[in-house]
Amino acid sequence: MKKLYPFLFFFLGWATLGQAQSDQIKAKKGNITVHPVLHAAMVLQWNGKTIYVDPYGGAARYKAYPAPNLVLITDIHGDHLHKKTLDALDLSKATLVVPKAVKAKMGELKAQQVATLANGKKMKTMGIKIKAIPMYNLPETAKTRHPKGRGNGYVLTMGGKRLYISGDTEDIKEMRALKGIDVAFVCMNLPYTMTVDSAASAVLDFKPDIVYPFHFRGKGGFSDVNKFKQIVNKGNPNIEVRLRDWYKK
């Protein structure tokens, strides 16, 4: 039996790869499990369904998770639409929800279905409501990295909870106007999205119950998520800020 111990420990370590910081959100029909993966990529699980958001970083990062039933992609850039990762994943049972610009660039994928969703539009699949939310840079110009209407943030409603995924956005009015958000995933990296201060200010305005800073690697390195937490907690101690490792090797 002793000879089996090293193998058993190795197997258990491999089986939980990428899940060390997984969180539970209480919801109807079972908890929502949140698995940070890399940068803007995450895996959500609820009611027997597995959702991949912006799968990125290679298929090996997803070995610990079931094949997806739903895949959400926010934008055309390579840290969101990552063809190499998508091509290597089992998408045979997956519905992909994407903006029109993403569908035009992603080529052929062996997915069950590809649905395009424009800003402001809604759909429902597998008991999950999906609404596409604008994400864009300010000021709005033709040369901006993220023009309005090209990419999507998303609001997911499942198990009686509303989850907001920001996509690559700045401190826009559509984000500040959100209501009833239980869990928010908010980006903050320069020069692509928001400053820490802008992200914290927006969060204090729309008041999610729980917020995860993610997508916080920029040209100058990593944004100060501890500062973000301090600003939010000082402004509203009832908002729970969860700091997780979105850049584990």
Domain membership flag for residue 1 = no
Rounded distance between C-alpha atoms, residue 223 and residue 128, angstroms:
32
Contacts of residue 104, defined as CB under 8 A and 6 or more positions apart, other chains included, come to: none
pLDDT for residue 227: 98
pLDDT band per the 50, 70, 90 thresholds, residue 11:
very low
Domain membership flag for residue 136 = yes
CATH number of the domain that residue 219 is part of: 3.60.15.10
- Least trusted range by pLDDT, from 11-20, 47-56, 58-67: 11-20
Other beta carbons within 10 angstroms of residue 92's beta carbon come to 10
| 9-23 average pLDDT score | 48
Three-class SS state of 30: coil
| 67-94 average pLDDT score | 94
Q: Which long-range contacts (CB under 8 A, 24 or more apart) does 87-91 make?
A: 88/58, 88/59, 89/52, 89/55, 89/59, 89/62, 91/67
Domain membership flag for residue 35 = yes
Show the domain range for 45.
21-241
Domain membership flag for residue 163 = yes
- Distance linking the first and last C-alpha atoms of the chain: 32
pLDDT band per the 50, 70, 90 thresholds, residue 21:
confident
Count of domains for the chain: 1
Rounded distance between C-alpha atoms, residue 243 and residue 85, angstroms:
25
Domain membership flag for residue 10 = no
Domain membership flag for residue 7 = no
- For residue 145, the 8-state DSSP code is S
Q: Is residue 114 over pLDDT 70?
A: yes
Q: Is residue 249 over pLDDT 60?
A: yes
pLDDT band per the 50, 70, 90 thresholds, residue 17:
very low
| 126-155 average pLDDT score | 91
